[in-house]
Amino acid sequence: MLNIILFGPPGSGKGTQSEKLVEKYHLIHLSTGDLLRKEIAAETPLGISAKAFMDDGKLVPDDVVIGMIGNCIDENFHAKGILFDGFPRTVTQAVALDLLLSHKSTPIKKVLFLKVNEDELIKRLVKRGETSGRADDANPEIQKRRQVIYKEQTLPVSDYYEQFDKVVNVEGIGTIDDIFNSLCEEIDKVSLEVE
Ligand code: ADP
């Protein structure tokens, strides 16, 4: 399977690029943010407990997210590959993901790290807050908290994968198509090995 992690801070463009990548490479798009928002909309017990964390700009507890991802991997084991978007967000989640994938002998092939500086991120998130309807986007204090949590809890995930030489940096500022092309170049290098 072609299993790829799209990594980067909130506002780096993971959602936008994921949509284009899954279409081109026929991958399953596994966005924990989207899955959690669906649980909230359906008012499930998981959604109700996750909502408070998300609205506050905090991470949902690892065991909740890992359980949700485990089900999705099982359901999509027949797929050509999975594009992970917004997951793993902690080293604990990364270790759990590696374990889940090792049971299926289908490891993460590459971690594509979208590089965007903080000024640009804040600008983008303020703009997104005007239209997205997401409580965590609309409030500047919560946006700042999300960037702090990213640095403290999520950035170490790139070090975790760095030790296995899986991380590739991709410039995340430019046109959507230019960034998409850079990501495709990297995926094409591994997809040949997977075929
Ligand atoms: P963005 O695209 O802005 O980075 P997401 O839609 O991926 O944001 O996630 C929104 C919120 O959902 C996060 O701030 C967090 O509260 C929660 N969330 C999403 N994925 C995870 C995860 N893997 N672990 C913990 N919390 C998560």
Q: Which residues are catalytic?
A: 14, 89, 128, 134, 145
9: nearest Cα among 126, 135, 151: 151
What pTM was computed for the model? 0.92
CA of 195 to the centre of ligand 1 (A): 32
The full set of domain ranges for the chain reads 2-184
Which of ligand 1's atoms lies nearest the C-alpha of 85?
A: 7
Question: How does pLDDT run across 38-75, given as a tens digit for each residue?
Answer: 999 999 999 999 999 999 999 999 999 999 999 899 89
Spatial separation of the C-alpha atoms in residues 115 and 170, rounded to whole Å: 6
Question: How does pLDDT run across 176-185, given as a tens digit for each residue?
Answer: 999 999 999 9
State whether CATH 3.40.50.2000 applies to domain 2-184: no
